[in-house]
Each structure stands twice: as C-alpha cells, then as structure tokens.
Amino acid sequence: MKSFFINPLILRLLSVVIAFGIWEYLGRIPISPAFPTFLQTMSALGGMIADGSMLAVYPATFQPLLIGLIISSILGIGCGVFMGLNAKAEWFGAPVFIILQSAPLAALIPLLTFAYGIGLTSKILTVCIMAMPVIVLNAYSAVRHTPTSMIEMGRSYLGSSRQIILKIIIPSASPVIYAGLRLGAAMGFIGAILAELLITPTGIGDLITYNQSIAEYDKMYAAIFSIMVFAVIFIEILERTEYIFFRPDKRVTQ
Amino acid sequence: MSSVSESVTKDALPIAVSVNGVTKIYPGGVEALNDMTIQFPKGELTSLLGPSGCGKTTLLKIIAGLLAPTSGNVTVNGQPVTGPGKERAFVFQDFALMPWASVLRNAAFGLELQGVPKSERNAIAEKHIEAVGLKGYESLFPHELSGGMRQRVGLARALAVNAEVLLMDEPFSAVDEQTRRKFQEDLLEVVADEEKTFIFVTHSIEEAVYVSQSIALLLPRPSRVSEIIRPDIRRDISPDAIRRDPVYLDIVERIWQSLRTYVE
C-alpha cells in the first residue's frame, strides 16, 4: 500500500486529480458567474471537439507558433552556442539577450504591428521575441559550463575543434539547451496567444475572445484548457527527443 | 638506506620525456613552475610527488601539451612538444568520461577522434576493457559504475590509443581507499605488461613508493625537483608483505621527513 502512494505515476495523477477537484469545488461555490466548473468546461470541450469548431481553429494558431519556434530554436541555439564558444560574440550578444529576457516583451507587440502589419509576420515575430532570449541564454551558459577536463580530454586525444564541439561540447550542453528549448516553447505558446489577443483575433485566441464576448464562459475555458494541454504535450515530446538523440544515458535512469 | 640510490643518471635507460628549464607563469602572475628540469626514463613509472601547490599537475599538463610553458621546452623521444600528440595519452583525475556514452564508446573515444573505423576501434577497446577488468560492462553508462570502475574506463581509453607515454593526473584520488589499493596492484601489472612510460602525479607518499620505479620529489615556493628517489623495494613478495616491508616503510618515512616542513 505504501509503495502505491510513492509510485511517481500515481503521485502525478493524484496532483492532477486534486487540482481539478479544487477547480470543480470553486466553480460550484460559485466564486464568479464567469468561472465555470471543471465538469462544465470538459463537457463544453467535448462538444467543441465533436462539432469540429475546436480543431478547425488550431491550424491558424499553430502556423505562427511552429514557424516562430523553429526559427527561434535554430537561430537561438546557433547564437547561444556561438556566444559560448567565442568571447567577442559573448560580449556583443549577451547584454542584448539578457535585456530582452527581462523586458516586458508584450509591450513591443504594438511596435511590431506598426512595422509589419497585422499579418503572419507580426505573429511569428511575437513568438520569436518571446521564445528566443531564454533559448539563447541557456545554450550560451550550457556551452560555457562544459567541464574543463572534458574539453582537455578531447584536446589530449587529438580531437579537432569541430570534433570537440560536435562530440563533446554539444552533447554535454544538451540538457541545459533542451531546458531552454522547453522554456522557450512555453514562452512561444504565450507569444502565439498574445499575438492572437493583441494583434488580430484568429485561431484559439479568437475562440477565447469570441466566447468571452458572448459570455459562453465554459467554451472560453475549454479553449484555454485545450491550448494548455497542447503546450504540455508539445514540451513532453521535446523532452523525449533529447533522450533519443543526445542523452541515451538518461533513458536508463527513467 | 642502502636500497635507495640517489640518482638516475647512472642508469643506462633511454630517456622518454625530457623537461628542460620549464617555467610557467599563469595569467595574473602566479608562478607555478620555475626553471624545472627533469627527465623520465623509458619503460618506467615515475611519480611526481609533492605537497599541493608545487606544480605537479601543471607540469603534467605541459608535458601533455595542454598548457604551453612560459619558457623552456619539453621533448618526447627527442621531438619538441608543441601540443597534444599521438604518443601521449592522459588519464584524468575526475575521469573525464562522457556521461552520455557507454563504457565501450568512452574507451574507444580516443580512436574515434583519430578516425579509426567503428568495428576496428570497438574491437581494440573491448580488448582493453577486458584488460582493466571490466568485461561485461561495455554497454553500461558511467553513472552506473563505481568511481574505481570509471577510472578503469579512463585507463582503458588511454591504453586503447597505444601511446608510448601515459600521463596520469592523480588518477586514484577520487576513488575510495580499498578500491585504490586494488587499483595500485593492478597498475603494477599494467606497467609490467605494457612497455610504456608512465608519469604519475600523486600526493600520496605510500602510493608513490608502492607503484613507482622512481619518485621525483617536488617542493614548492619556488617549485623545484628536490630529489629523485628510486624505491628499490622487493616486487616478488605479496602486496600486503610489501606494505609491511621495512624498506618500504623506511622510504615512506624518509619522504615524509623531507616534505613535512612544507605542509601547513
């Protein structure tokens, strides 16, 4: 019985059940007429999936999100690794990204709209400015913290700079780079929704604002809930790819 | 003290590694080595023994070509050292194993960097993994091994590239005492089996006396070779008997007397 309660899967399930239970309870008090219960939200979600209105909006949201995340990942890891390897690039780049990471970037969205209009470009850029700083800074700091003895090992066994970077520094940095990617992806989801709420209502953002305006709160929460589920699944998949491609040792301990 | 001869110059052994007037000043002005000259005979295990701060590890890294000396030079088989070389292999204090790679890949990594084809390098690595006593552990990852086993992988990696000179930087200092003793005994076998030159950095007097054919006693401030000791202890008796042998104990005591004034 004791081992049943310390089983990690059971514990995770339990925490989810407790959170949803509290949601259901608060919805039933009710704390606000605009706050539906968990079960109402789920039934609205079921209805929206069944009539197709939910899945129909996702392509519009995922397009800027995925393009933005791919650009941020490639550019971000590239910049970060380069900054970690090259002191001049570090002096040049680190302050910019540190400021970007701590600045309230949502405030830049009107500026992007002025410059690039209300189309896809602005939304992709919103995802990028949200996701990139954390990806860059994590990649940079991961590369900088490669154990010295590991690099010395590569040098003493006659590894070329290219071999040392590809076979030692990148795999050694991959856990922290991936942590940055996961945080970046989470920020990217926020960026995509922000863009849909602040620039033009499309996709899931439209579903949220529209249902809010006609006081269909259960549908509004169902839309918010669905994007959260997608974000969690996406980040989980990202984590798996790390184990498969870079860190087979971690699969052993899982 | 008749069993201790004072000099290596009488020996006819050829010289594998020669350190000539090497000075190393780190950026910031810390002087780690000052005009150090020392020679390492071929086919022997020479320990660099001294208190912390005497520049043992700095000297080893200069021999490895990982650090450039501020002045002076190092030659290996008469060739000046300008960087790491194929004829030298390094064993690291913290093992420097790649946590994401299996024992086999770690042991074969030196060959992988040299571009040896996979099947060939794995065959060579497997042979050396067996030689260091890790047969059956090839597919495990470093975090699944004990500290002593990890350093055996580090040793297998160094042996696999078939270098003439093995540079060992306090290889057993991160290993527990029991494992360390077993490892020292195994090292003696490796030294006897392989016709290689070993340069072995340690701060343990007992370890140096037990494993070495010759001990270079380094002293700090300024760093210098204070003396070369050849502990001619009997090798035909059991390891436990060696550790109780009066000759062995006398040498340990004598080195301690030389070093004790330098220990804060």
**pLDDT tens, A72-82?**
999 999 999 99
Considering CB atoms only, which of B92, B113, B142 is closest to A158?
B113
- Residue B59 distance to chain A (closest CA, Å): 15
All structural domains of chain B: 4-87+163-262 (3.40.50.300), 102-162 (no CATH)
Burial group, residue A200, by CB count within 10 angstroms (0-12, 13-18, 19+): middle
Contacts with A157 from chain B: Cβ below 8 Å: 84, 89-90, 109-110, 113-114, 157, 161
User: Any idea which of A4-13, A23-32, A142-151, A152-161 has the lowest mean pLDDT?
Assistant: A4-13
Instruction: Over range A26-47, report the average pLDDT.
Output: 91
| Residue A93: count of CB within 10 angstroms of its CB | 18
Check CB contact under 8 Å for A249 and B94.
Answer: no
- Give pLDDT, residue B111: 96
User: What ipTM was estimated for this complex?
Assistant: 0.88
Give how far B224 is from chain A: nearest CA, Å.
25
Calculate Rg over the CA atoms of chain A.
22
Which residues of chain A lie closer than 8 angstroms to B144, CB-CB?
252
Distance from CA of A151 to the nearest CA of B (A): 9
pLDDT band at B10 (very low <50, low <70, confident <90, very high): very low
Per CB-CB distance under 8 Å, the chain A contacts of B88 are: 156
pLDDT in tens, B166-186: 999 998 888 888 888 888 888
Contact status of A87 with chain B (Cβ, < 8 Å): no
Confidence of residue A146 (pLDDT cuts 50, 70, 90): very high
Q: pLDDT value at position B52?
A: 79
Q: How confident is the model at residue A239 (pLDDT cuts 50, 70, 90)?
A: confident
Q: Where are the alpha helices (DSSP H) in chain B?
A: 56-64, 103-107, 109-113, 118-131, 147-160, 177-193, 205-211, 239-244, 246-259
- Give the highest mean pLDDT range of B21-30, B116-125, B224-233: B116-125
Contact assignment for B66 to A156 by CB distance below 8 Å: yes
Which residue out of A146, A149, A156 would a mutagenesis test of the B interface target, given it has the greatest number of B Cβ atoms within 10 Å? A156
Q: What is the mean pLDDT of residues B26-35?
A: 87
Chain-wide mean pLDDT for chain B? 88
Percent of chain A with pLDDT over 90: 67
**Cβ-based neighbours of A51, under 8 Å, separated by 6 or more:** none
Least confident of A73-87, A232-246, B135-149: A232-246
pLDDT at A2: 61
According to the model, what pLDDT value does residue B100 have?
Answer: 92
* CB nearest A249 (choices: B92, B99, B109): B99
Cα A155 to Cα B84: distance, rounded to the nearest angstrom:
7
Percent of chain B exceeding pLDDT 70 equals: 94
Which sequence spans correspond to the domains of chain A?
Answer: 52-253
Q: Tell if the CB–CB gap between B90 and A152 is shorter than 8 Å.
A: yes
Asked if the model's pLDDT at residue A220 lies above 90, the reply is yes
* Mean pLDDT on B41-46: 92
pLDDT at A92 over 70: yes
Structure-model confidence comparison of residues A100 and B124, the more confident one? B124
**Residue A214: is it exposed, middle or buried by C-beta count within 10 angstroms (0-12/13-18/19+)?**
exposed
Q: Is A254 touching B (CB cutoff 8 A)?
A: no
**Three-state secondary-structure class, residue B69:** coil
Tell me if A149 and B142 make a contact (CB, 8 A cut-off): no
Does residue B41 sit in helix, strand or coil? strand
Q: How many cross-chain Cβ pairs, A to B, lie less than 8 Å apart?
A: 70
pLDDT in tens, B159-171: 999 999 999 999 8
Choose the closest CB to A153 out of B65, B92, B102. B92
CATH H-level superfamily of A52-253: MetI-like (1.10.3720.10)
Burial class (CB in 10 A: 0-12, 13-18, 19+), B120: exposed
- pLDDT above 80: residue B5: no
DSSP secondary structure code for residue B13 in this structure: P
Give the model's confidence band at B4: pLDDT under 50 very low, under 70 low, under 90 confident, else very high.
very low
pLDDT (0 to 100) of residue A7: 79
Burial class of residue B141, CB neighbours in 10 A (0-12, 13-18, 19+): buried
